[in-house]
Amino acid sequence: MTDIEMLKREVKVLVFDQYGTVVDMQGGLTEIVTAYFKDKKVDIDPGRFVTWWRRTHFENSMIDSLCNRGHTPYREIGHRAVDYTLERAGIPHTSEEVQYLVAEIEKLRPFPEVPAALEKLHTRYKLAILSNGDRDMLEAAKPYIGFDFDATISVQEAGAFKPHHRTYERASEILDVSRSSILFVANHQFDCTGAKAFGMRTAFIDRRDRPFGQTPHTPDITVRDMGALADLIA
């Protein structure tokens, strides 16, 4: 069992995943795809389509990191994923439509409890973002998130997608703080596993009430949402 009081004394910085942890990626993109399908008169479940899209994107980003032939921008991976998913679903589309759908990621809004939770956490810790998104995408997203993080770091700085160890290592270097003084916060099992394997503490935001799975890299904290995290450690 994690000693929460000790963790609170030793942690100096909270580092957050952005897509799916701070902002509601599944819900936001489902709204966008619902409108897009309505215009195109497509009778496919938008939520399922978004799930296919996100899984395809994740698979392609992992392949990119494993090939280790140079980092491909998140936006380019996104274009490939959306084009593939539309083609797989049998939906005629243009490159402009693909670019439109991917660009909407920059406008995603936080989960309802996130702004207040971030304000509460910021009274005790420095807060930063570490995202697979491109630098310009993360910059464009700032007005929609509405919170001024102490740092926003793209994995472009490391030249690989999370959960590659270089991404967490580079974040620790940029923040100038030891890995054990960082609590990495994510809604994704793979991201928490990568951060914990590198040596960071981790908090798993279990919004979907799912098991974390058998791994030696279990999270230090598991909570239902960001508000519960703030209540526990702020």
Structure tokens at 81: 């994923």
Query: Mind listing the pLDDT tens digit for each residue in 115-171?
Result: 999 999 999 999 999 999 999 999 999 999 999 999 999 999 999 999 999 999 999
pLDDT score for 161: 96
H-helix segments, the chain = 4-10, 25-40, 46-67, 74-88, 95-103, 114-122, 135-145, 165-175, 189-198, 226-233
User: Could you give the strand order of the β-sheet that contains 201-205, starting from the edge strand earlier in sequence?
Assistant: 151-154, 126-131, 13-16, 182-186, 201-205, 221-223
Q: Model pTM?
A: 0.95
Query: Mind listing the pLDDT tens digit for each residue in 4-38?
Result: 999 999 999 999 999 999 999 999 999 999 999 99
pLDDT level of residue 1 (50, 70, 90 thresholds)? low
CA 163, CA 145: separation in Å to the nearest integer?
23
* Residue ranges of domains in the chain, CATH in brackets: 4-24+108-233 (3.40.50.1000), 25-106 (1.10.150.240)
Query: Mind listing the pLDDT tens digit for each residue in 167-221?
Result: 999 999 999 999 999 999 999 999 999 999 999 999 999 998 888 888 899 999 9
Query: Mind listing the pLDDT tens digit for each residue in 56-79?
Result: 999 999 999 999 889 999 999 999
